[in-house]
Amino acid sequence: MLPDNASQSNLDFDNPPKDPFGLFDEWIRAACDSELNDPNAMSLATVDDAGLPNVRVVLLKGHDPRGFVFYTNLESKKGQEIGSQRHAALNFHWKSLRRQIRLRGYLEAVTDQEADDYYHSRARESQLGAWASQQSRPVPDRATLERAFENIEKKYADVDVIPRPPHWSGRRLVPNMIEFWEDGAYRLHNRIQYKRDAADWTVARLYP
């Protein structure tokens, strides 16, 4: 007889909950308790106009049943692909828990108020950095970047509230698929996949 799966989960994969967002909340809380660094780190995959994929790690900065929010420079390569394709995929991997979550869906802009609120919650130096960095563009050396930061720092030295750059904002991935994966013995992993059908979710267990 095969042993029970090797994970630490109490989730019954044969009878999963109907709500993927509640399950996500449980798993992200567990990750916050176990991961040493950035439990909210996620891989963001986009494609360019030629259909070639790009993937990079960004940080989840908000989530609820509306979707999953991250922030970026909209003039960056990432921002350009987001603007032209408007679809993306996310992947969370928590090595200490031997779990991952995959999501696919479309992207919508957060409101200006949401972007302002998050921008002004950041450290002042991070706010200045959003002005100083021309993300994804060539820079000749580190000194050039540091001079740009120093110039912005001087510009806003006497300003209490630094304005948010117009090219810096957030996007919300509205998922139409969420998949939960957990390590199992003999590579007989556990997988359940939620798919959105109009306003409802259907759930199925998948072969590993």
Which run of H or of E encompasses 130?
helix 124-132
Asked if 69 and 171 count as a contact pair (C-beta separation under 8 A), the reply is: yes
Q: Of the residues 102, 142, 172, 187, which is catalytic?
A: 187
> Is 187 marked active-site?
yes
Which residue shows structure tokens 């992947």? 91
Long-range contacts of 155-159 (CB under 8 A, 24+ apart): 156/128, 156/131
Q: Please, which residues have CB within 8 angstroms of residue 125's CB and are 6 or more apart in sequence?
A: none
CA distance 66 to 105: 12
According to DSSP, the residues that pair with 47 across neighbouring strands are: 53
User: Annotated catalytic sites, by residue?
Assistant: 187
